[in-house]
Amino acid sequence: MIHDAARELTQDHEVDCDVAIVGTGAGGGIAARALSKAGAKVVLLEEGGHHTSREFDLEEATAYPMLYQEQGNRATADLSIAVLQGRSVGGGTTVNWTTSFRTPAHVLDHWRRVFGVEGLTEGALTPHWEEIERYLGIAEVPPEGVNRNNGKLWDGLGALGWERQRTRRNVRGCGFLGYCGMGCPIDAKQSMLITAIPEAVAHGAELWAHCRASRIEAQGDRIVAVHGEAIDPETLWPNGRRLIVRPKVCVLSGGAINDPALLLRSKLGNESGQVGRRTFLHPVVAMVALFDDPVDGFYGPPQSVSSHQFARRGEKMGYFFEAAPVHPMLAAIAIDAHGRELRDQMAKLAHTSATIGLLIDGFAPGEEGGTVTLKSDGMPKLDYPFHPRMEEAARSAQHDMARLLLAAGAKQLRSLHQPPVILSSERDLAALDAAPFGPNRLMMFTAHQMGGCAMGSDPARAVVRSDLRHHRLENLFVVDGSVFPTSLGVNPQLSIYGISSWAAPHVLAALGRA
């Protein structure tokens, strides 16, 4: 059954269950499906609303307030990195761009060698990936699914002889509309919203939307309650009604920023001091290109081409390339212009292409990423410092993106610096290389949040064990991207699906149902 806590909780309410799951995204959705199918009584808490395709009108002004954390305004504490993170039933899977990669084998090997993560091998995860790929229709984009925006990236990579591939997407019957980030209006995207969550509910799971987990309560080394509060959908503030869930096992799947914040609010599970630490973002830099021919980057699958040519650069931070859709609101925010100049730039939107470079953070010794702490109101605060290794990667990624877009035939490039660097040939690359870098000198964003509750064998360095069970709290599991001890170097959706499917038997074992 699906409840709306904002409407239905007229008084405080308590419920007993086998498993309480906080969050309904990639981690929570797959866990709920597996556990409910196994006969466990599951209760899910989701701070966002339950919105369906009938509400997805392809308007940015509707989607960001309705489907994103902080109405689309979440950012690092210094406002230097915009954080795009889902907030509704389905979480990030409702609004992501559908790109699906398996976790690279070298990443899994790094986790084993450096952090003592055991069991999460490519061989162990492959059956789970294969089942998820069948379940969600994950397959390579056909050639006709490569829109002109992604096609420019493909052409530029080919002209320079760099590695390129068509991506894999979790879709069925895709209409190539191009508005995946605003929720799929034809239910082609196989998100948790239309797949695992309804299946879990059909098997008896109970879902409470507009219900934020405010804290978890423990007695000794066991969680005894999850305290939820009904959230007013207009103000995003609690309306005073509470839901108290008393589970045998608790699963946190609220994401890499919200999971640490919940543990910190609860004053639980941070004996190691690692909760909220090692938070990674794949920080994104972008390059905007203007072409003579129409690109129409607001239509077609947002991402259908990628390149990992520079993902592994020895001692230097790696990065990978993808395209980004060119929708009016995001474009207007990204382009550093005002008045007549902004109007003129927006008039050229149909001829504009956007390419992004995603930095692969977390692999160098001493590279700790960001830190989640709490604001005075108990909400999460994310600090993410810039450092020389990151600066070098960002500059190199921009340089390479400029080269490939010029090779694809762009007549003008525009960086997202303040002020922007304008390029029309490779002669202008020196000006790009010399442009300032630092907080709020170059627009950056993230759609991939990882870490904050890292897994590992050493309880002094990790929050959860290799089986995703908390090191001290015996009936608490963390099942989402917050357990990654580094970033991935690929879009995280399928990695989270895989570890959630892999972790489900461990949760069942904690219930005595192995």
**Distance of alpha carbon 349 from alpha carbon 344, whole angstroms:** 9
> Residue 39 carries which DSSP code?
T
Q: Is 186 exposed, middle or buried (0-12, 13-18, 19+ CB in 10 A)?
A: exposed
The pLDDT value recorded for residue 342 is 82
Q: What is the 3-state secondary structure (H, E, C) of 169-195?
A: EEECCCCCCCCHHHCCCCCCECCCCCC
In the chain, where the domains are located: 2-53+61-137+185-272+452-510, 144-171+284-360+387-437
**Distance of alpha carbon 245 from alpha carbon 17, whole angstroms:** 7
**Distance of alpha carbon 199 from alpha carbon 202, whole angstroms:** 5
Query: Which residues of the chain fall short of a pLDDT of 70?
Result: 513-514
The pLDDT value recorded for residue 414 is 95
Q: Where are the alpha helices (DSSP H) in 68-184?
A: 92-95, 105-115, 122-136, 148-160
**Distance of alpha carbon 263 from alpha carbon 59, whole angstroms:** 35
Say if residues 128 and 502 touch (Cβ distance below 8 Å): yes
What homologous superfamily is domain 2-53+61-137+185-272+452-510 in, according to CATH?
FAD/NAD(P)-binding domain (3.50.50.60)
The whole-model pTM stands at 0.97
**Distance of alpha carbon 205 from alpha carbon 202, whole angstroms:** 7
The pLDDT value recorded for residue 513 is 66
Report the SS3 class of residue 379. coil
The pLDDT value recorded for residue 346 is 86
Tens digits of residue pLDDT in 406-422 = 999 999 999 999 899 99
Residues 6+ apart with CB under 8 A from 437: 386, 391, 394, 395
Say if residues 422 and 234 touch (Cβ distance below 8 Å): no
**Distance of alpha carbon 19 from alpha carbon 511, whole angstroms:** 9
Tens digits of residue pLDDT in 3-42 = 999 999 999 999 999 999 999 999 999 999 999 999 999 9
Q: Do the domains at 2-53+61-137+185-272+452-510 and 144-171+284-360+387-437 have one common CATH topology?
A: no
The CATH class for the domain spanning 144-171+284-360+387-437 reads alpha beta
Residues 6+ apart with CB under 8 A from 26: 91, 92, 93, 192, 480, 481, 492, 493, 496, 497, 500
The pLDDT value recorded for residue 345 is 83
How far is the CA of 52 from the CAs of 151, 254, 271, in angstroms? 31, 20, 41
Residues 6+ apart with CB under 8 A from 434: none
- Read off the amino acid at residue 155: D
The pLDDT value recorded for residue 357 is 98
The pLDDT value recorded for residue 514 is 56
Q: Which of 446, 277, 298 is nearest to 359 (CA)?
A: 446
Say if residues 431 and 67 touch (Cβ distance below 8 Å): no
